[in-house]
Amino acid sequence: MNIEKMTRRQLIGLAAVATAAAVTDWDDASRTVGRVEAATMKHGGSGGGKAEQVAPGVWRIRFGKPEKLTPLSFRTAPIHKEGFSSLTPCDQPPFSLDDITFRTTGRGCAVTLPMTTEERIFGFGLNTKLFDKTDRRVFLRPSDDPEGSLGDSHAPVPFYVSTEGYGVYMDTARYASFYSGNVAPTAVRGATGAGGGPADNTQDLYRQRTLSAKTMLVDVPSAEGVDVYIFGGPAMGDAVCRYNLFSGGGAPPPLWGLGVAYRGKGDFSAADSLKLAQTLRDEKMPCDIWGVEPGWQTKTYSCSFVWNTGKFPNPDGFIREMRGLGYRTSFWEHAFTHSSSPIHKDLEPFSGDYRVWDGLVPDFAGKSARTIFGRYQDKVLYAKGADSVKLDECDNQPDSATPWSFPEASSFPSGLDGEQYHSLIGALYQQTMWEPLRRRNKRTWGLVRNAHALAAPLPYVVYSDSYDHRCYVRGLVNAGFSGLLWTPEVRDAGSPEELCRRIGTVIFSPYAMVNAWYIALPPWIQVNRDKNNAGEPMPEQASTTDAVRSLFQLRMSLLPYLYSAFHSYAETGTPPTRALVMDWPDDKASHAVDDQFLCGPSLMVAPMFTGQTNRDVYLPPGLWYDYWTGEKLAGGRKIEGVSKPLDQVPLYVRDNTLLPLAEPIEHVTSDTRFALIVRVYGDTPTPVTLYADDGETYDYEHGALNRVTLSWNGGKGEIVTKGGYTGPERYEVVRWTPMG
């Protein structure tokens, strides 16, 4: 096999096969691909590290003796080499690699990297409580609490980025700690923070102090070495794109995956689901995905993966009927396997040495468990027409006095221990469930409760049991730093106002989901849980339903725009949702903005929260337009007292944007054709490229993809289509509308 001449699709196939194989087999494949990618540099890092350039603007330094099993051991896809051509060239490391130091300790190893006194540090995964991570410790441990004060969350990622225009990834599945500028080595004199006289109160005594000389200290327990990857810029956003492309590039969703998702009550039967699904159609409520919660199985904690024929007497027929109503289906499960499951006996030799809810914990790091589990899931779900899955309970409860998950002392046949597997189970579970669909040439868009490093190519969105709205917005802001996708799902609300404000956030996320798993009626009919389950509508039902429908229709109008943003994520690594600081790292005011975010290339969202009659909005430098009024606004300043009704969200458009808006539809079909109204913002708008394909398969990788470029020249709109897609036309421009 001549790997140097393989296409990207063939390399992805090799990675998928190798990942599904035994760990030792994958390690061999990883080294082979690595030989193609790596070019040895002339200089090396300190501490005995050898530096290699592994991709354009990406350098690896190997310190000590790294552990054999790391996130890179199980990468989903090879480096997306072609994507780097879209970035500004970066030929030299962003700082001297000789300034990185390494040492082993009695507890593991430690790496120290340089920092300047001015730079700000962001990233480290999902955490919804913390934003700017400068001058603090961040502890990367999987947890069911995304609001942990140390940085542990559903998706901790050992990758950070700096406003100085670089990123750093530590290839470890250990619970590493990062001290980002708040510890000073003894050798650095004069590095103490400003002090003064003796403190006379505890607040002053223990306040955060900024050091006059800074370093980043990374403490990796248990390991005798670690591979450190440095991602150049030159800008902060370029470093993030390089990390995502190094991971394999972002996952392009099926077109239906970007529609609205609704999850029915946990104990719904097939008849219950079909009845409510029909009601949504009667109400003209846009919805593409129907989520089936635990009731489809005979056992759920742990899982049997056996259809509950009392509630679902004809699974194939149920899925067909849902598809006939225009819904794609998503089924809940978790990996812990009940003794009544048909695969329990076969999985026993390939599972961990501790059980969860009296169920086996399959070792998805090995070929055998993945094959047994994946083939059965393919038979029981995908072969019947299921489109996606929701992968629950693959996180951890490390601070609980009565934890339900496996202990860190667990061991697995692959050689992983419990600490490593807690970090990796989410990604490995996603891969296991995605592989059968990939073989079927079928795109999916799923949900998962745990993720880690190098997650960009995985077609799953992280969700949470936490529920603070502001934290949910911060999750959207943070996820873009680390190759993650996040949904601020809507479950229920304390009032119609809260419901609409939450929906006003989720419609701009990667997965626009209403999760009504413990209420029988949609929340826009009744927000009170007890009254909802009693079938009692609220007095504001009609107005709330109208407002929710309007918000869902806004989501549907953005489908072409969002589909383009996700294809850009796949091709260039640009996150579809991201913090303002990523695009304006030199604008110090943007460093603190954690309640606004960018959606795609041109939209900025500033969600409103319950109880707010208005809010302040920060506009980054440049010209902006109010989406609703068309008012032109100067940036680089704060706008005070912004207010919008419940069926609107403060939303702003960058100057010189062509914004394609589709006439809203209720759901996507295989022959959906979007009627577009193209808004023209500014005098010299940048052309925008839309993507047209079948929206369901991976045939676009073989050339069945059109790029539809919209441009505005001399007061006239132009459309140019190029590519090899020959299916139904996706777009028809019905009007061009200059906005100023």
Tens of pLDDT, residues 200-232: 676 665 556 666 679 999 999 999 999 999 999
Task: List 598's β-bridge partners, or say none.
Answer: 578, 604
* Alpha-carbon separation of residue 134 from 216, 320, 478 (angstroms): 10, 52, 14
Structure tokens of 502?
């939450």
Q: What is the distance between the alpha carbons of residues 654 and 601, in angstroms, rounded to a whole number?
A: 9
* Alpha-carbon separation of residue 329 from 121, 257, 381, 485, 737 (angstroms): 40, 11, 10, 20, 37
pLDDT over 50 at 26, yes or no: no
Classify residue 516 by its DSSP letter: -
Q: What is the distance between the alpha carbons of residues 569 and 510, in angstroms, rounded to a whole number?
A: 12
* Pairing of the two strands 688-692 and 674-681: unpaired
Q: Burial of 75 by CB count in 10 Å (0-12 exposed, 13-18 middle, 19+ buried)?
A: buried
Classify residue 494 by its DSSP letter: S
Q: What is the distance between the alpha carbons of residues 96 and 79, in angstroms, rounded to a whole number?
A: 24
Q: Name the strand (E) or helix (H) holding 653.
A: strand 651-654
Same domain, 611 and 671: no
> To the nearest whole number, what is the mean pLDDT of the chain?
92
Q: Judge whether 212 and 193 are in contact, CB under 8 Å.
A: yes
Same domain, 720 and 611: no
pLDDT digits (tens, 9 = 90+) for 582-614: 999 999 999 999 999 999 999 999 999 999 999
> What pLDDT shows up at residue 213?
76
Structure tokens of 113?
């990297």
Residue 563 lies inside a defined structural domain of this protein: no
Amino acid at 627: Y
Least confident of 21-25, 314-318, 423-427, 641-645: 21-25
Q: What is the distance between the alpha carbons of residues 421 and 363, in angstroms, rounded to a whole number?
A: 9
Same domain, 105 and 120: yes
Q: 3-class SS at 179?
A: strand
Q: 3-class SS at 255?
A: helix
Q: Exposure string (b/e) for 7-35, b if CB count within 10 Å is 16 or more?
A: ebeebbbbbbebbbbbbeebbebbeebee
- Chosen domain end from 656, 687, 716: 656
Same domain, 21 and 72: no
Same domain, 44 and 129: yes
> What pLDDT shows up at residue 148?
78
Residue 61 lies inside a defined structural domain of this protein: yes
| Overall average pLDDT of the 340-367 stretch | 98
Q: At residue 375, what are phi and psi to the nearest 5 degrees?
A: -65, -40
Q: What is the distance between the alpha carbons of residues 493 and 332, in angstroms, rounded to a whole number?
A: 22
> Could you report how far apart the first and last alpha carbons of the chain are, in Å?
57
Dmax of the chain from CA atoms? 76
* Alpha-carbon separation of residue 522 from 155, 273, 331, 511, 711 (angstroms): 29, 12, 19, 18, 41
pLDDT over 70 at 425, yes or no: yes
pLDDT over 70 at 195, yes or no: no
> What pLDDT shows up at residue 204?
60
Q: Quote the number of domains for the chain.
A: 5
Q: Which of 140-149, 177-186, 581-590 has the highest mean pLDDT?
A: 581-590
Same domain, 303 and 168: no
pLDDT over 60 at 264, yes or no: yes
Top pLDDT among 187 and 266 is at 266
**Residue keyed to tokens 């389950």:** 533
Q: Burial of 198 by CB count in 10 Å (0-12 exposed, 13-18 middle, 19+ buried)?
A: exposed
Q: What is the pTM of this model?
A: 0.93
- Chosen domain end from 602, 628, 656: 656
Q: What is the distance between the alpha carbons of residues 74 and 452, in angstroms, rounded to a whole number?
A: 11
> What pLDDT shows up at residue 187?
56
Q: Which of 102, 59, 394, 131 is nearest to 220 (CA)?
A: 102
* Pairing of the two strands 446-448 and 460-462: parallel
CATH at 382: 3.20.20.80
Same domain, 690 and 629: no
**Residue keyed to tokens 């067909």:** 320
> What pLDDT shows up at residue 35?
30
Amino acid at 673: R
Q: What is the distance between the alpha carbons of residues 100 and 45, in angstroms, rounded to a whole number?
A: 6
Number of DSSP helices (H) and strands (E) in the chain, helices first: 15, 33
Same domain, 184 and 45: yes
Structure tokens of 311?
């509630």
- Chosen domain end from 634, 656, 678: 656
User: In 10 A of CB 369, how many CB atoms?
Assistant: 28
CATH at 673: 2.60.40.1180
Classify residue 543 by its DSSP letter: H
Same domain, 81 and 227: yes
Top pLDDT among 31 and 364 is at 364
Q: At residue 436, what are phi and psi to the nearest 5 degrees?
A: -60, -35
| Overall average pLDDT of the 148-173 stretch | 95
| Overall average pLDDT of the 488-501 stretch | 95
Same domain, 108 and 237: yes
> What pLDDT shows up at residue 365?
98
234 cis-preceded (ω within 30 degrees of 0):
yes
Structure tokens of 719?
């459309």
Residue 526 lies inside a defined structural domain of this protein: no
Same domain, 353 and 402: yes
Q: Which of 150, 158, 101 is nearest to 129 (CA)?
A: 150
* Alpha-carbon separation of residue 55 from 48, 73, 93, 271, 468 (angstroms): 22, 17, 12, 53, 39
Structure tokens of 2?
């001549």
Same domain, 169 and 30: no
Q: Judge whether 202 and 168 are in contact, CB under 8 Å.
A: no
Domain that holds residue 396: 296-416+430-444
Q: At residue 378, what are phi and psi to the nearest 5 degrees?
A: -60, -40
